[in-house]
Amino acid sequence: MRGPTILLVAFLAAAVALPEAANAQLSPGGIIGAVTHPLRALFGRLGQYPRRHRSPATQETQSPAAQSAQLGIVGPTAWPSAFEDVLGYTFWPGEYAEQIRTRGFDVIAGIFLGTPRGSESAQAATTGAAVRSDAPSTDLAKPCNEDAGAPNDAMVIRIEQTIQPTDAQRDALDKLRTALAQSVKTIKAGCRDTTGLSPVNRLDLTVQQLWAVRDGGVYVRAPLKALYDTLTDAQKAKFEWKQPQERSRQSAAAANSGMGRQYQACASQGIEGSEHMINQIKQTVRPNKEQSASLEGLRKTSADMAKLLTTSCAQPIPSDPLARLDSSDDQLSGMSYAATTVQIALNDFYTRLDNEQKARFDSLGR
């Protein structure tokens, strides 16, 4: 299994101390920072999270190929568009922010609830959120379908159309193209048909896949920075995200109130997904008294991790592509940590089941 586990106890203690959903004062960026970069400050300012808003910088004319830039299954089964969402958020946050920033505990809960493949469907099944009618669609019916989606080069073509590179910039763009293709190839190599796997094994695979997507983002950062450094200010402006400007103290207060409500909504969705998962396990396994104590431990751990993972949907959108890529990598690290933490509590519960209960448990999500 990949990922840091040595600091598990310290991280879990921090997660347990998280506020309830009603408390929106704690900075989302601070919570994620505690998981991915322990030396970061734990407190900060909540930022505006716009929904379905497209900044002027992202309104360039798109070709049909650019509009359907799908990479196929490049991520966990419960979030097959993960790497595409990371790349899309990096370059076009006005279009992809909602698709990546609202992902969290639903990816873990989907393992047990049998959610459909496809990010929006999985999220709706675990949180009750409405499915976006304008979300990009991908042929995900066949696991690990190499033919699903448009060519991997489509996103680079769109970048090229956006910046209109000079001859000197084309070399840096070609290196980014090569790095993106290699990342996609590496992540897809870890794709597995999970149909016959137990929830325990599916969770283990999900941890590996989340780390693979995160590593893919890390791998493309250097060539992205090299390209970004060659751009003119006008070219950079095409990828810049500008936070909404507040016109008065009254409007700022209203915005802060809206951010608080959104954080509460995100926290509520994550906790509800966690509860749904635990209740499904309980109804399926029908644990005895001793097993119920272990299940209660799993419930508490899942709730703590669900609260931790609500943070990404309310923190500010970084202004430049490199910072947005780093933010996505932090989010994936947090999700990997949460999945690993749940896995430890789940293993404790699973080992206490008898053979008949294990057979029923193994049927979850199929």
Q: Domain residues of the chain, as ranges? A: 8-362
Residue 177 pLDDT: 94
Residue 244 pLDDT: 62
The structure tokens listed for 92 are: 């076009």
Angle at 226 between CA 221 and CA 229, to 5 degrees: 120
Residue 23 pLDDT: 37
Look at the alpha carbons of 9, 15, 16, 17 in this order and tell me if their dihedral is positive or negative: positive
Residue 265 pLDDT: 63
pLDDT digits (tens, 9 = 90+) for 19-53: 333 333 333 343 344 444 433 333 232 233 333 33
> What residue ranges of the chain have pLDDT lower than 50?
1-69, 116-141, 147-151, 247-252, 254-255, 258
Residue 70 pLDDT: 60
The structure tokens listed for 101 are: 């920033």
Cα 169 to Cα 96, 98, 134, 152: the distances in Å are: 26, 31, 33, 20
Residue 115 pLDDT: 53
Residue 261 pLDDT: 63
Residue 118 pLDDT: 40
Residue 13 pLDDT: 42
How many angstroms from the chain centroid is the CA of residue 329?
9
Residue 38 pLDDT: 37
Q: How far apart are CA 132 and CA 20, in angstroms?
A: 28
Residue 261: CB atoms within 10 A of its CB come to 12
pLDDT digits (tens, 9 = 90+) for 174-193: 999 999 999 999 998 888 88
Q: How far apart are CA 353 and CA 325, in angstroms?
A: 42
